[in-house]
Structure 1
Amino acid sequence: MGHLGGIIVRQRRWTAMLAMTATAACVAPAPPPPPAAAARPPAQASAPSIRQLPPGQVASHAPSSLERRIVELGRSFSGSVGIAVRDVSDGWTVGYNADRPMPQQSVSKLWVAMTALDAVDRGGLSLQEPVTVTRDNLTVFHQPVRAMMGPNGYATSYGELMRIAMTQSDNTCNDMVLRRAGGPTAVRSMIERKGLGRIAFGPGETLLQSGIAGMTWRPEYAHNNGFRTARAAIPYAQRQAAMDRYLADPMDGASAEAIAGALARLQRGELLSPASTSRLLGLMRQSRTGPQRLRGGLAPGWVLAHKTGTGQDFAGLSTGYNDVGVITAPDGRSYAVAVMIASTRQSIPARQQLMNEVVRAVIASHGWNGRTPVMVSSATPPAGGIDQ
């Protein structure tokens, strides 16, 4: 692995496996709450030139224009960010700070779904298996399934719970699929067995989110806004210390490079059966979350299959603001992209702009769509999307 000021540029054949390292992340603790400051937008730079390759020719190494642009974007962003782009066919990777573990937050729902589908492939789980969601199953934060529940709960299947978890980032649905698939131990085993690299998995939503806030989870926190009320009563110093510990060594940490590598293997059909691969990528294409993140940088004709993640805010610091996925060109060529913002005080539009520009850089470096250079412009996000 070559290093230059924290910038990672990898070139390897697509069959090479990611090496696991033991270096822990380290993020400087946030200072006490400062007066609100104006967000500094990312530095503006001209778009990279379009690389026009002869028909049928593919690059054997990362385009230099893309390497430069990813480095420029990472360096100009005010915050801790990891970026990785992998060509699914050729296997080259470019990145910025790409080997450092970053908080995943709901990006980790991807590994829960993958573990469940792997169990389906091995005959240990049926997605048609019935299940009922009750108030006792509720967790914390984003839970659209709550509105679907009647007096006797919400009767459905594990396949439907997976769909809601992946397309709407529902925490309760995800935790129920997680339990049925064998819990955190099963997810960690799947990650290790399939050699996905530097990807950790936390203890589930309730324990993860309460731990980040310096709290111990109680079932009553799931009702009547209990978690937010209890969190607001935690002393500042206690919350700050807990957040510092989380950012320094996130229990759900993963490197952008490892995520991009896993997504590339998923796209190539190396991790699941053809049917399960198609199901998972289909759910990722249907996702309605984060319509202005990676999706905001797409050009017409390009398709995104993705999973977002959004962590807690504290004292003006936002954490775990992520989007990872596979973008596919009109000519069928695909790229795995991971943008992981561990912590920042930048505004949401500034974070989204960074993600847009990463996608635009990939599209510009693609450079050839049949016989017509690809022009970069934003695609219209799906209606009803939420920034989760």
Structure 2
Amino acid sequence: MRTALLLVGLLLTLSPIYAQVESLQTKIDQLIKGKKATVGVGIYDFGSRQTLIINGDKHMPMQSVYKFHVALAVLSEVDKGHLKLTQKMHVKKSDIVPGLHSPMGEDYPKGEVDLPLADIIRYMVAESDGSACDYLFRLLGGPKQVDAFIHKLGIRDVAIRETEEMMQAKGNWDVQYTNWTTPTAMLSLLKLFYQRKILSASSHDFLWKVMVGTTTGPDRLKKLLPAGTIVAHKTGTSGTNKDGLMGAVNDVGFITLPNGNHLAISVFISNTTEGIGANERIIADIAKVAYDHFAKLN
């Protein structure tokens, strides 16, 4: 009898939480209903510890979201003493890959420059620089090394197989699908990072600051949030093929709530014919309803 009463009490305690999450999921389901796209969502509120997952087991192409994974792997080497953020890295002309989005290449088109490792990481994450990403892949020993590093963290449902150069090369449309994650795995990785279980305090704070300074995707997670809301995030975007299909429009990271608590959030949109503007609006709308929902709880 005592056990039964305890169970009833537990269910009564948890019922409001499930109802709250269900309410948020209903709102998000309405936002993505009828869209010509696969939408994967992962949200975790560190204040209430509520989790929401939609299409959590789908393999979603990451595109440049995987630069977050690369940054974690590089900073882990910094923490081991194998590298230093202040260490000067020589960037050759051949390191600037033609055809890739590369602010680093725009700043140093002829290469042959020595840059602090910290600057190369900033280019890769905050400005989504493809040349910087492939430079760091080479520094680590290739995509397989990053893949192995993430797997050792206990994040299994992720694959990092190809470089930016390979992924973005003309005629290589299907390569993007070899660099994938599930929304559940992405959310798990974000939580580990936030809980400071991957990097040292200094490396964690460095990457957080870089992500807050992200310049890409202003019309995604940040678009509809109150002015001044701090968002630390990483975007990912594919091109559009001849059939009008986009492989990926993504944004993942952390949203700061009014009381200073945070949400971890990942939104992946794949195989979509909605167009870039509509896809970005889906991400913005999801971020807004999540923000509004959890701001009331915190």
Q: Scaled by the length of structure 2, what TM-score is found?
A: 0.87
Q: Percentage identity across aligned positions?
A: 28
Q: Distance in 2 between matches of 1:160 and 1:338?
A: 25
Equivalent of residue 118 in structure 2, options 143, 159, 163: 159
Q: Distance in 1 between matches of 2:64 and 2:110?
A: 29
Change in Cα spacing, 1:93 to 1:113, as seen in structure 2 (3 Å) is same
Which residue is 2:252 aligned to? 324
Which residue is 2:146 aligned to? 187
The within-5 A match list for 1:210-225 is: 210=169, 213-214=171-172
Equivalent of residue 197 in structure 1, options 120, 137, 156: 156
Which residue is 1:102 aligned to? 60
RMSD of equivalent CA atoms: 2.0
Q: Distance in 2 between matches of 1:260 and 1:119?
A: 23
Asked if 1 retains the 8 angstrom alpha-carbon contact of 2:21 and 2:50, the reply is no
The within-5 A match list for 1:1-388 is: 61=18, 63-139=21-97, 140-149=99-108, 153-210=112-169, 213-214=171-172, 243=173, 245-246=174-175, 250-315=177-242, 316-368=244-296
> Per-residue deviation at 1:178?
1.9
Q: Distance in 1 between matches of 2:46 and 2:133?
A: 28
> Per-residue deviation at 1:60?
5.1
Asked if 2 retains the 8 angstrom alpha-carbon contact of 1:148 and 1:154, the reply is no
> Per-residue deviation at 1:150?
6.1
Residue 100 of structure 2 aligns with an amino acid whose one-letter code is F
> Per-residue deviation at 1:368?
2.9
Q: Single out whichever of 281-290 and 155-164 deviates more from structure 2.
A: 155-164
| Unmatched runs of 5 consecutive residues or more in structure 1 | 1-58, 215-242, 371-388
More helix by percentage: 2
Residue 77 of structure 1 aligns with an amino acid whose one-letter code is K
Change in Cα spacing, 1:174 to 1:147, as seen in structure 2 (3 Å) is same
Residue 270 of structure 1 aligns with an amino acid whose one-letter code is K
Change in Cα spacing, 1:70 to 1:95, as seen in structure 2 (3 Å) is farther
Number of aligned positions between the proteins? 280
Asked if 2 retains the 8 angstrom alpha-carbon contact of 1:63 and 1:365, the reply is no
> Per-residue deviation at 1:183?
2.0
Q: 1:198-241 CA distances to partner (integer Å, 9 max, x unpaired)?
A: 1211221122233x724xxxxxxxxxxxxxxxxxxxxxxxxxxx
> Per-residue deviation at 1:82?
1.0
Q: Distance in 2 between matches of 1:177 and 1:206?
A: 13
> Per-residue deviation at 1:246?
4.9
Q: Distance in 2 between matches of 1:158 and 1:190?
A: 19
Change in Cα spacing, 1:86 to 1:318, as seen in structure 2 (3 Å) is same
SS of equivalent residue, structure 2 residue 119: helix
Q: 1:287-321 CA distances to partner (integer Å, 9 max, x unpaired)?
A: 00011111102124531100000112111111211
